[in-house]
Chains A and B, each alone.
Chain A
Amino acid sequence: MADMIEIRGLNKYFGDLHVLKNINLTVKAGEKVVVIGPSGSGKSTLIRCVDWLEEPTTGEIIIDGQLVTKKNHLEMARKYSSMVFQQFNLYPNMTVLGNLTLAPIKLQKKSKEEANAAAMAALKRVGLAQKAGEYPQNLSGGQQQRVAIARAMCTKQPIILFDEPTSALDPEMIQEVLDVMIELAQENITMICVTHEMNFAKQVADRVLFMDDGQILEEGTPEHFFTNPQNPRCKDFLNKILH
Protein backbone atom coordinates (compact mmCIF):
# COMPACT_ATOMS: atom_id res chain seq x y z
CA MET A 1 0.00 0.00 0.00
CA ALA A 2 1.13 3.50 -0.76
CA ASP A 3 1.91 5.99 1.97
CA MET A 4 -0.95 8.42 2.53
CA ILE A 5 0.49 10.54 5.34
CA GLU A 6 4.12 11.02 6.14
CA ILE A 7 5.22 13.12 9.10
CA ARG A 8 8.91 13.94 9.28
CA GLY A 9 10.68 15.56 12.20
CA LEU A 10 7.56 17.39 13.38
CA ASN A 11 8.02 19.83 16.26
CA LYS A 12 5.37 22.11 17.65
CA TYR A 13 5.80 24.79 20.25
CA PHE A 14 3.09 26.84 21.95
CA GLY A 15 5.23 29.71 23.18
CA ASP A 16 7.88 28.02 25.27
CA LEU A 17 5.88 24.84 25.61
CA HIS A 18 7.32 22.01 23.50
CA VAL A 19 4.16 20.06 22.64
CA LEU A 20 5.40 17.77 19.88
CA LYS A 21 8.97 16.51 19.96
CA ASN A 22 10.43 15.32 16.70
CA ILE A 23 7.54 13.13 15.59
CA ASN A 24 8.09 10.74 12.69
CA LEU A 25 5.12 8.75 11.48
CA THR A 26 3.99 7.14 8.28
CA VAL A 27 0.40 6.09 7.70
CA LYS A 28 -0.48 3.94 4.71
CA ALA A 29 -3.52 4.50 2.54
CA GLY A 30 -6.51 2.83 4.12
CA GLU A 31 -4.74 2.26 7.41
CA LYS A 32 -6.61 2.83 10.68
CA VAL A 33 -4.39 4.32 13.35
CA VAL A 34 -5.57 4.90 16.91
CA VAL A 35 -3.64 7.34 19.08
CA ILE A 36 -3.95 7.06 22.84
CA GLY A 37 -2.23 8.76 25.72
CA PRO A 38 -2.85 10.97 28.73
CA SER A 39 -4.28 14.44 28.20
CA GLY A 40 -1.66 17.02 27.38
CA SER A 41 0.47 14.42 25.62
CA GLY A 42 0.15 16.18 22.28
CA LYS A 43 -2.06 13.65 20.51
CA SER A 44 -4.72 16.18 19.49
CA THR A 45 -2.06 18.64 18.40
CA LEU A 46 -0.55 15.91 16.23
CA ILE A 47 -3.67 15.36 14.15
CA ARG A 48 -4.44 19.08 14.13
CA CYS A 49 -1.04 19.56 12.52
CA VAL A 50 -1.97 17.04 9.83
CA ASP A 51 -5.00 19.20 9.01
CA TRP A 52 -2.88 22.35 9.49
CA LEU A 53 -5.25 23.71 12.15
CA GLU A 54 -1.96 24.06 13.99
CA GLU A 55 0.97 25.14 11.91
CA PRO A 56 4.02 22.93 12.55
CA THR A 57 6.93 24.84 14.07
CA THR A 58 9.42 22.66 12.22
CA GLY A 59 9.17 19.46 10.23
CA GLU A 60 7.22 18.27 7.25
CA ILE A 61 3.76 16.92 6.63
CA ILE A 62 3.49 15.05 3.35
CA ILE A 63 0.12 13.88 2.14
CA ASP A 64 -0.12 11.59 -0.87
CA GLY A 65 3.43 12.53 -1.84
CA GLN A 66 2.80 16.31 -1.65
CA LEU A 67 4.36 18.56 0.94
CA VAL A 68 1.73 20.56 2.85
CA THR A 69 2.71 24.22 3.09
CA LYS A 70 1.32 27.47 4.37
CA LYS A 71 0.23 28.21 0.82
CA ASN A 72 -1.48 24.97 -0.16
CA HIS A 73 -2.87 23.70 3.13
CA LEU A 74 -6.46 24.75 2.45
CA GLU A 75 -6.38 23.15 -0.95
CA MET A 76 -4.88 20.01 0.61
CA ALA A 77 -7.56 19.97 3.31
CA ARG A 78 -10.23 20.35 0.65
CA LYS A 79 -8.81 17.49 -1.36
CA TYR A 80 -7.57 15.02 1.23
CA SER A 81 -8.73 15.34 4.78
CA SER A 82 -11.68 16.14 6.96
CA MET A 83 -11.88 16.33 10.70
CA VAL A 84 -14.38 15.19 13.30
CA PHE A 85 -14.15 17.25 16.47
CA GLN A 86 -14.74 16.53 20.12
CA GLN A 87 -17.35 19.30 20.26
CA PHE A 88 -18.94 18.28 16.90
CA ASN A 89 -18.68 21.86 15.54
CA LEU A 90 -21.76 21.56 13.38
CA TYR A 91 -22.92 24.87 11.90
CA PRO A 92 -25.86 25.75 14.18
CA ASN A 93 -27.53 28.14 11.75
CA MET A 94 -27.95 25.46 9.11
CA THR A 95 -30.07 22.33 8.99
CA VAL A 96 -28.42 18.92 9.10
CA LEU A 97 -28.71 18.77 5.32
CA GLY A 98 -27.23 22.26 5.03
CA ASN A 99 -24.27 21.20 7.16
CA LEU A 100 -23.60 18.27 4.88
CA THR A 101 -23.97 20.06 1.57
CA LEU A 102 -22.23 23.40 2.22
CA ALA A 103 -18.70 22.29 1.38
CA PRO A 104 -19.67 20.03 -1.54
CA ILE A 105 -21.68 22.87 -3.12
CA LYS A 106 -19.41 25.83 -2.36
CA LEU A 107 -15.99 24.16 -2.54
CA GLN A 108 -16.42 21.11 -4.73
CA LYS A 109 -18.91 22.87 -7.01
CA LYS A 110 -21.40 20.01 -6.94
CA SER A 111 -24.95 20.67 -8.05
CA LYS A 112 -27.53 20.97 -5.30
CA GLU A 113 -29.24 17.74 -6.39
CA GLU A 114 -25.98 15.83 -6.43
CA ALA A 115 -24.93 17.19 -3.03
CA ASN A 116 -28.36 16.43 -1.53
CA ALA A 117 -28.29 12.88 -2.82
CA ALA A 118 -24.81 12.27 -1.41
CA ALA A 119 -25.83 13.87 1.88
CA MET A 120 -28.92 11.69 2.19
CA ALA A 121 -26.87 8.58 1.44
CA ALA A 122 -24.43 9.55 4.19
CA LEU A 123 -27.26 10.31 6.63
CA LYS A 124 -28.80 6.89 5.92
CA ARG A 125 -25.50 5.26 6.79
CA VAL A 126 -25.38 7.01 10.16
CA GLY A 127 -29.07 6.28 10.69
CA LEU A 128 -30.30 9.87 10.68
CA ALA A 129 -31.98 10.34 7.30
CA GLN A 130 -35.20 11.38 9.05
CA LYS A 131 -33.36 14.30 10.71
CA ALA A 132 -32.26 16.03 7.48
CA GLY A 133 -34.42 19.09 8.11
CA GLU A 134 -33.59 19.38 11.81
CA TYR A 135 -31.26 21.95 13.33
CA PRO A 136 -28.21 20.67 15.24
CA GLN A 137 -29.24 22.08 18.61
CA ASN A 138 -32.39 19.95 18.55
CA LEU A 139 -30.32 16.76 18.31
CA SER A 140 -28.68 14.77 21.08
CA GLY A 141 -24.89 14.83 21.37
CA GLY A 142 -24.61 11.38 19.85
CA GLN A 143 -26.80 12.36 16.94
CA GLN A 144 -24.80 15.55 16.40
CA GLN A 145 -21.58 13.62 16.26
CA ARG A 146 -23.07 11.13 13.79
CA VAL A 147 -24.09 14.09 11.64
CA ALA A 148 -20.54 15.44 11.93
CA ILE A 149 -19.19 12.09 10.74
CA ALA A 150 -21.68 12.11 7.87
CA ARG A 151 -20.44 15.61 7.02
CA ALA A 152 -16.90 14.27 6.85
CA MET A 153 -18.07 11.40 4.64
CA CYS A 154 -19.88 13.73 2.24
CA THR A 155 -16.77 15.47 1.02
CA LYS A 156 -15.33 12.07 0.05
CA GLN A 157 -11.81 12.82 1.16
CA PRO A 158 -9.48 9.84 1.59
CA ILE A 159 -8.48 10.83 5.13
CA ILE A 160 -10.72 11.36 8.15
CA LEU A 161 -9.16 12.60 11.38
CA PHE A 162 -11.06 12.02 14.63
CA ASP A 163 -10.18 14.22 17.60
CA GLU A 164 -11.63 12.48 20.67
CA PRO A 165 -15.02 12.06 18.97
CA THR A 166 -16.74 10.49 22.00
CA SER A 167 -15.17 12.46 24.85
CA ALA A 168 -17.92 15.06 25.05
CA LEU A 169 -20.73 12.52 24.97
CA ASP A 170 -22.92 11.11 27.68
CA PRO A 171 -21.98 7.46 28.30
CA GLU A 172 -25.13 6.03 26.75
CA MET A 173 -24.43 7.80 23.46
CA ILE A 174 -20.86 6.66 22.98
CA GLN A 175 -21.69 3.33 21.40
CA GLU A 176 -23.92 4.71 18.66
CA VAL A 177 -21.04 6.92 17.52
CA LEU A 178 -18.49 4.12 17.77
CA ASP A 179 -20.78 1.87 15.74
CA VAL A 180 -20.83 4.42 12.95
CA MET A 181 -17.04 4.70 13.07
CA ILE A 182 -16.62 0.93 13.03
CA GLU A 183 -18.89 0.68 10.04
CA LEU A 184 -16.98 3.48 8.31
CA ALA A 185 -13.71 1.65 8.99
CA GLN A 186 -14.78 -1.10 6.55
CA GLU A 187 -14.05 1.35 3.77
CA ASN A 188 -10.71 2.14 2.28
CA ILE A 189 -10.48 5.40 4.21
CA THR A 190 -7.34 6.39 6.05
CA MET A 191 -8.35 7.06 9.63
CA ILE A 192 -6.37 8.56 12.47
CA CYS A 193 -8.36 8.53 15.64
CA VAL A 194 -7.46 10.07 18.96
CA THR A 195 -9.58 8.31 21.55
CA HIS A 196 -9.80 6.72 24.96
CA GLU A 197 -12.08 3.94 23.71
CA MET A 198 -9.87 0.88 24.02
CA ASN A 199 -12.46 -1.52 22.66
CA PHE A 200 -12.73 0.55 19.56
CA ALA A 201 -8.95 0.43 19.24
CA LYS A 202 -8.92 -3.36 19.60
CA GLN A 203 -11.69 -3.79 17.08
CA VAL A 204 -10.70 -1.35 14.38
CA ALA A 205 -7.06 -0.32 14.62
CA ASP A 206 -4.35 -1.66 12.36
CA ARG A 207 -1.90 0.10 14.62
CA VAL A 208 -2.08 1.75 18.01
CA LEU A 209 0.24 4.58 19.07
CA PHE A 210 0.88 5.62 22.63
CA MET A 211 1.91 9.23 23.11
CA ASP A 212 3.19 10.97 26.19
CA ASP A 213 5.08 14.20 26.66
CA GLY A 214 4.99 15.03 22.96
CA GLN A 215 6.56 11.77 21.80
CA ILE A 216 5.36 8.46 20.38
CA LEU A 217 6.58 6.05 23.04
CA GLU A 218 5.06 2.81 21.83
CA GLU A 219 3.43 1.56 18.68
CA GLY A 220 2.21 -1.74 17.41
CA THR A 221 -0.75 -3.88 16.47
CA PRO A 222 -3.57 -3.94 19.01
CA GLU A 223 -2.61 -7.52 20.04
CA HIS A 224 0.94 -6.51 20.78
CA PHE A 225 -0.15 -3.27 22.30
CA PHE A 226 -2.66 -4.49 24.81
CA THR A 227 -0.98 -7.76 25.76
CA ASN A 228 2.68 -6.96 25.71
CA PRO A 229 3.52 -3.28 25.91
CA GLN A 230 7.19 -2.53 26.47
CA ASN A 231 7.30 1.10 27.56
CA PRO A 232 6.77 1.50 31.33
CA ARG A 233 4.72 4.67 30.97
CA CYS A 234 2.51 2.95 28.43
CA LYS A 235 2.06 -0.04 30.76
CA ASP A 236 1.20 2.33 33.56
CA PHE A 237 -1.34 4.20 31.43
CA LEU A 238 -3.01 1.01 30.22
CA ASN A 239 -3.24 -0.27 33.75
CA LYS A 240 -5.01 2.87 34.86
CA ILE A 241 -7.40 2.96 31.96
CA LEU A 242 -8.26 -0.76 31.68
CA HIS A 243 -8.84 -1.47 35.34
Chain B
Amino acid sequence: MLEGLFDPRRWEITMAEMGSLWEGFGFTLQVVVAGLLLSLVLGTILGVFSTTRSRVLGIISRIYVEFFQNTPLPVQVFFYYMAGPRVLQMITGAESPVRISAFAIGALGVGLYHAAYVSEVIRTGIESVPRGQMEAALSQGFTRVQSYAYIILPQTFKVILPPLCNQALNLVKNTSVLALIAGGDLMYNADNFVSTYGYLQGYIMACVLYFIICFPLAMLVQWLERRSKRRPRAKNIPGITPEPAKEA
Protein backbone atom coordinates (compact mmCIF):
# COMPACT_ATOMS: atom_id res chain seq x y z
CA MET B 1 0.00 0.00 0.00
CA LEU B 2 2.74 2.38 0.91
CA GLU B 3 5.11 1.52 -1.96
CA GLY B 4 4.15 4.81 -3.59
CA LEU B 5 5.84 6.61 -0.74
CA PHE B 6 9.29 5.80 -2.12
CA ASP B 7 8.41 6.07 -5.77
CA PRO B 8 10.81 8.74 -7.16
CA ARG B 9 8.49 9.50 -10.12
CA ARG B 10 5.66 10.41 -7.81
CA TRP B 11 7.89 12.79 -5.89
CA GLU B 12 9.06 14.33 -9.15
CA ILE B 13 5.48 15.03 -10.16
CA THR B 14 4.68 16.31 -6.70
CA MET B 15 7.53 18.79 -6.77
CA ALA B 16 6.51 19.93 -10.22
CA GLU B 17 2.89 20.42 -9.22
CA MET B 18 3.42 22.19 -5.91
CA GLY B 19 1.92 25.41 -7.28
CA SER B 20 -1.58 24.87 -5.96
CA LEU B 21 -0.22 23.93 -2.54
CA TRP B 22 1.82 27.11 -2.34
CA GLU B 23 -1.25 29.04 -3.38
CA GLY B 24 -3.20 27.49 -0.54
CA PHE B 25 -0.27 28.21 1.75
CA GLY B 26 -0.40 31.90 0.84
CA PHE B 27 -4.14 32.03 1.33
CA THR B 28 -3.88 30.29 4.70
CA LEU B 29 -1.26 32.82 5.78
CA GLN B 30 -3.58 35.69 4.91
CA VAL B 31 -6.41 34.13 6.89
CA VAL B 32 -4.00 33.60 9.79
CA VAL B 33 -2.90 37.23 9.86
CA ALA B 34 -6.44 38.60 9.66
CA GLY B 35 -7.81 36.06 12.13
CA LEU B 36 -4.98 36.67 14.58
CA LEU B 37 -5.51 40.41 14.45
CA LEU B 38 -9.23 40.01 15.09
CA SER B 39 -8.72 37.56 17.95
CA LEU B 40 -6.08 39.72 19.65
CA VAL B 41 -8.09 42.94 19.50
CA LEU B 42 -11.41 41.36 20.47
CA GLY B 43 -9.79 39.04 23.02
CA THR B 44 -7.95 41.90 24.77
CA ILE B 45 -11.15 43.93 25.00
CA LEU B 46 -13.09 40.96 26.38
CA GLY B 47 -10.26 40.06 28.76
CA VAL B 48 -10.11 43.58 30.21
CA PHE B 49 -13.93 43.56 30.42
CA SER B 50 -13.81 40.50 32.65
CA THR B 51 -11.43 42.16 35.15
CA THR B 52 -13.13 45.55 35.47
CA ARG B 53 -15.45 46.17 38.36
CA SER B 54 -18.48 46.38 36.03
CA ARG B 55 -20.79 43.39 36.41
CA VAL B 56 -22.42 43.94 33.01
CA LEU B 57 -19.12 43.94 31.11
CA GLY B 58 -18.03 40.87 33.05
CA ILE B 59 -21.18 38.98 32.12
CA ILE B 60 -20.92 39.94 28.45
CA SER B 61 -17.37 38.64 28.38
CA ARG B 62 -18.30 35.46 30.23
CA ILE B 63 -21.19 34.59 27.88
CA TYR B 64 -19.02 35.17 24.83
CA VAL B 65 -16.18 33.05 26.15
CA GLU B 66 -18.38 30.17 27.28
CA PHE B 67 -20.33 30.10 24.02
CA PHE B 68 -17.28 30.01 21.76
CA GLN B 69 -15.24 27.66 23.92
CA ASN B 70 -18.04 25.13 24.25
CA THR B 71 -19.14 24.79 20.64
CA PRO B 72 -17.01 23.19 17.90
CA LEU B 73 -15.28 25.45 15.44
CA PRO B 74 -16.46 23.50 12.35
CA VAL B 75 -20.08 23.97 13.43
CA GLN B 76 -19.50 27.68 13.89
CA VAL B 77 -17.88 27.97 10.46
CA PHE B 78 -20.67 26.00 8.77
CA PHE B 79 -23.13 28.30 10.44
CA TYR B 80 -21.41 31.44 9.10
CA TYR B 81 -21.25 29.82 5.69
CA MET B 82 -24.91 28.90 5.56
CA ALA B 83 -26.59 31.56 7.65
CA GLY B 84 -24.18 34.44 7.07
CA PRO B 85 -25.36 35.31 3.53
CA ARG B 86 -29.01 35.42 4.65
CA VAL B 87 -28.24 37.46 7.74
CA LEU B 88 -26.37 39.95 5.57
CA GLN B 89 -29.28 39.98 3.15
CA MET B 90 -31.57 40.89 5.99
CA ILE B 91 -29.28 43.60 7.30
CA THR B 92 -28.50 45.19 3.94
CA GLY B 93 -31.94 44.58 2.42
CA ALA B 94 -30.39 43.06 -0.70
CA GLU B 95 -32.55 41.06 -3.10
CA SER B 96 -30.63 37.81 -2.78
CA PRO B 97 -28.35 36.33 -0.11
CA VAL B 98 -25.04 38.21 0.04
CA ARG B 99 -22.07 36.08 -0.92
CA ILE B 100 -19.30 36.04 1.67
CA SER B 101 -15.76 35.26 0.53
CA ALA B 102 -13.99 32.21 1.92
CA PHE B 103 -11.34 34.58 3.24
CA ALA B 104 -13.88 36.54 5.29
CA ILE B 105 -15.49 33.40 6.68
CA GLY B 106 -12.10 31.95 7.53
CA ALA B 107 -10.76 35.06 9.24
CA LEU B 108 -14.03 35.61 11.09
CA GLY B 109 -14.33 31.94 12.03
CA VAL B 110 -10.91 31.48 13.61
CA GLY B 111 -10.80 35.10 14.81
CA LEU B 112 -14.03 34.93 16.80
CA TYR B 113 -13.23 31.45 18.05
CA HIS B 114 -9.76 32.25 19.31
CA ALA B 115 -10.82 35.61 20.73
CA ALA B 116 -12.52 33.59 23.47
CA TYR B 117 -9.24 31.87 24.33
CA VAL B 118 -7.20 35.07 24.04
CA SER B 119 -9.67 36.72 26.41
CA GLU B 120 -9.00 34.03 29.00
CA VAL B 121 -5.26 34.45 28.59
CA ILE B 122 -5.51 38.22 29.09
CA ARG B 123 -7.81 37.78 32.09
CA THR B 124 -5.52 35.34 33.87
CA GLY B 125 -2.58 37.61 33.02
CA ILE B 126 -4.21 40.60 34.66
CA GLU B 127 -5.36 38.52 37.61
CA SER B 128 -1.83 37.24 38.13
CA VAL B 129 -0.70 40.75 39.05
CA PRO B 130 -1.05 41.09 42.84
CA ARG B 131 -3.69 43.51 44.12
CA GLY B 132 -0.99 45.43 45.93
CA GLN B 133 0.31 46.72 42.60
CA MET B 134 -2.91 48.57 41.86
CA GLU B 135 -2.98 49.84 45.45
CA ALA B 136 0.59 51.12 45.24
CA ALA B 137 -0.29 52.91 42.01
CA LEU B 138 -3.50 54.42 43.39
CA SER B 139 -1.75 55.50 46.58
CA GLN B 140 0.75 57.39 44.45
CA GLY B 141 -2.16 59.14 42.76
CA PHE B 142 -2.28 57.29 39.44
CA THR B 143 -5.77 56.95 37.97
CA ARG B 144 -7.08 53.45 37.22
CA VAL B 145 -6.42 53.87 33.49
CA GLN B 146 -2.88 55.14 34.15
CA SER B 147 -2.31 52.26 36.57
CA TYR B 148 -3.33 49.73 33.92
CA ALA B 149 -1.19 51.41 31.28
CA TYR B 150 2.02 52.06 33.26
CA ILE B 151 1.98 49.36 35.90
CA ILE B 152 -0.47 46.48 35.48
CA LEU B 153 -0.47 45.62 31.75
CA PRO B 154 3.32 45.81 31.29
CA GLN B 155 3.63 43.25 34.08
CA THR B 156 1.28 40.83 32.31
CA PHE B 157 3.34 40.63 29.09
CA LYS B 158 5.82 38.13 30.48
CA VAL B 159 2.99 35.87 31.65
CA ILE B 160 0.73 36.10 28.64
CA LEU B 161 3.17 36.01 25.72
CA PRO B 162 3.81 32.23 25.75
CA PRO B 163 0.09 31.26 25.88
CA LEU B 164 -0.72 33.93 23.29
CA CYS B 165 1.78 32.44 20.87
CA ASN B 166 0.28 29.07 21.62
CA GLN B 167 -3.09 30.44 20.58
CA ALA B 168 -1.53 31.74 17.36
CA LEU B 169 -0.19 28.27 16.68
CA ASN B 170 -3.58 26.65 17.23
CA LEU B 171 -5.19 29.30 15.09
CA VAL B 172 -2.89 28.40 12.20
CA LYS B 173 -3.87 24.75 12.41
CA ASN B 174 -7.55 25.57 12.83
CA THR B 175 -7.67 27.49 9.55
CA SER B 176 -7.73 24.04 7.93
CA VAL B 177 -11.40 23.91 8.88
CA LEU B 178 -11.94 26.07 5.80
CA ALA B 179 -11.43 22.98 3.64
CA LEU B 180 -14.87 21.88 4.83
CA ILE B 181 -16.54 24.76 3.03
CA ALA B 182 -14.40 24.85 -0.12
CA GLY B 183 -12.18 27.55 1.28
CA GLY B 184 -9.19 27.61 -1.07
CA ASP B 185 -6.83 27.26 1.87
CA LEU B 186 -3.84 24.94 2.17
CA MET B 187 -5.88 21.96 3.38
CA TYR B 188 -8.49 22.39 0.67
CA ASN B 189 -5.86 22.61 -2.06
CA ALA B 190 -4.10 19.60 -0.60
CA ASP B 191 -7.36 17.67 -0.86
CA ASN B 192 -7.64 18.58 -4.54
CA PHE B 193 -4.00 17.70 -5.10
CA VAL B 194 -4.57 14.34 -3.49
CA SER B 195 -7.50 13.46 -5.72
CA THR B 196 -5.29 13.96 -8.79
CA TYR B 197 -1.81 12.83 -7.69
CA GLY B 198 -2.39 10.43 -4.78
CA TYR B 199 -2.76 10.97 -1.10
CA LEU B 200 0.68 10.15 0.23
CA GLN B 201 2.68 12.96 -1.29
CA GLY B 202 -0.21 15.42 -1.11
CA TYR B 203 -0.87 15.15 2.61
CA ILE B 204 2.80 14.87 3.46
CA MET B 205 3.52 18.11 1.63
CA ALA B 206 0.53 19.77 3.31
CA CYS B 207 1.92 18.72 6.67
CA VAL B 208 5.33 20.09 5.73
CA LEU B 209 3.84 23.44 4.81
CA TYR B 210 1.80 23.71 8.04
CA PHE B 211 4.92 22.70 9.90
CA ILE B 212 6.85 25.55 8.29
CA ILE B 213 4.45 28.03 9.88
CA CYS B 214 3.89 26.28 13.17
CA PHE B 215 7.33 25.06 14.14
CA PRO B 216 8.90 28.52 14.47
CA LEU B 217 5.89 29.54 16.57
CA ALA B 218 6.38 26.53 18.82
CA MET B 219 10.06 27.44 19.19
CA LEU B 220 9.03 30.99 20.02
CA VAL B 221 6.69 29.70 22.73
CA GLN B 222 9.50 27.70 24.31
CA TRP B 223 11.93 30.61 24.14
CA LEU B 224 9.39 32.98 25.68
CA GLU B 225 8.67 30.50 28.45
CA ARG B 226 12.35 30.17 29.26
CA ARG B 227 12.74 33.93 29.17
CA SER B 228 9.79 34.50 31.48
CA LYS B 229 11.39 32.31 34.13
CA ARG B 230 14.72 34.12 34.06
CA ARG B 231 15.54 36.51 36.85
CA PRO B 232 16.08 39.99 35.50
CA ARG B 233 19.71 41.11 35.59
CA ALA B 234 20.64 44.49 37.04
CA LYS B 235 20.50 47.21 34.44
CA ASN B 236 23.33 49.53 33.64
CA ILE B 237 22.14 53.11 33.82
CA PRO B 238 24.88 55.40 32.51
CA GLY B 239 25.97 58.00 35.03
CA ILE B 240 24.01 56.38 37.84
CA THR B 241 24.90 52.76 38.39
CA PRO B 242 28.45 51.97 39.45
CA GLU B 243 30.84 50.47 36.90
CA PRO B 244 30.05 46.74 36.56
CA ALA B 245 33.56 45.83 37.72
CA LYS B 246 33.05 47.59 41.04
CA GLU B 247 29.81 45.77 41.80
CA ALA B 248 29.75 44.86 45.45
Residues of A within 8 A of B (CB): 51-53, 74-75, 77-79, 81-83, 85, 87, 89-93, 95, 97, 102-103, 106-107, 116, 120, 130-135, 137-138, 155
Which residues of B are found within 8 Å of A85, using beta-carbon distances? 132, 135-136
Contact A77 B139 (CB under 8 A): yes
Contact B234 A106 (CB under 8 A): no
Which residues of A are found within 8 Å of B150, using beta-carbon distances? 102, 106
Closest to A135 in B: B232
Contact A74 B231 (CB under 8 A): no
Contact A51 B139 (CB under 8 A): yes
Contact B234 A135 (CB under 8 A): yes
Known: A78-B141, A103-B140. Contact between A133 and B133, CB under 8 A? Answer: no
**What is the CB-to-nearest-CB distance from B64 to chain A, in angstroms, rounded to a whole number?**
30
* Interface residue ranges of B113-146 to A (CB < 8 Å): 130, 132-133, 135-136, 138-143, 146
Bound complex: CA A138 to CA B146 (Å)? 26
* Interface residue ranges of B194-248 to A (CB < 8 Å): 231-237, 240-242, 247-248
Contact B237 A74 (CB under 8 A): no
Known: A83-B139, A135-B234. Contact between A130 and B155, CB under 8 A? Answer: no
Known: A53-B135, A89-B132, A89-B133. Contact between A75 and B141, CB under 8 A? Answer: yes
- A sample of 13 cross-chain residue pairs with beta-carbon separation below 8 angstroms, ordered by A number, consists of A74-B138, A77-B138, A77-B139, A82-B139, A89-B130, A89-B136, A91-B136, A93-B158, A95-B234, A120-B240, A133-B234, A133-B241, A135-B235
Known: A93-B154, A130-B248. Contact between A53 and B241, CB under 8 A? Answer: no
Which residues of B are found within 8 Å of A134, using beta-carbon distances? 234-235
Contact A89 B142 (CB under 8 A): no
Closest to B232 in A: A135
**What is the CB-to-nearest-CB distance from A223 to chain B, in angstroms, rounded to a whole number?**
33
Contact B143 A137 (CB under 8 A): no
Bound complex: CA A70 to CA B238 (Å)? 42
Contact A130 B242 (CB under 8 A): yes
**What is the CB-to-nearest-CB distance from A56 to chain B, in angstroms, rounded to a whole number?**
15
> 9 smallest A-B Cβ distances: which pairs?
A78-B141, A89-B136, A133-B241, A83-B139, A89-B132, A135-B232, A133-B235, A77-B141, A103-B140
**What is the CB-to-nearest-CB distance from B114 to chain A, in angstroms, rounded to a whole number?**
27
Q: Which of B132, B143, B146, B158 contacts A87 (CB 8 A)?
A: B132
Known: A97-B237, A138-B231. Contact between A103 and B141, CB under 8 A? Answer: yes
Bound complex: CA A89 to CA B138 (Å)? 12
* Interface residue ranges of B42-57 to A (CB < 8 Å): none
Which residues of A are found within 8 Å of B142, using beta-carbon distances? 74, 103, 106-107
Which residues of B are found within 8 Å of A82, using beta-carbon distances? 139-140
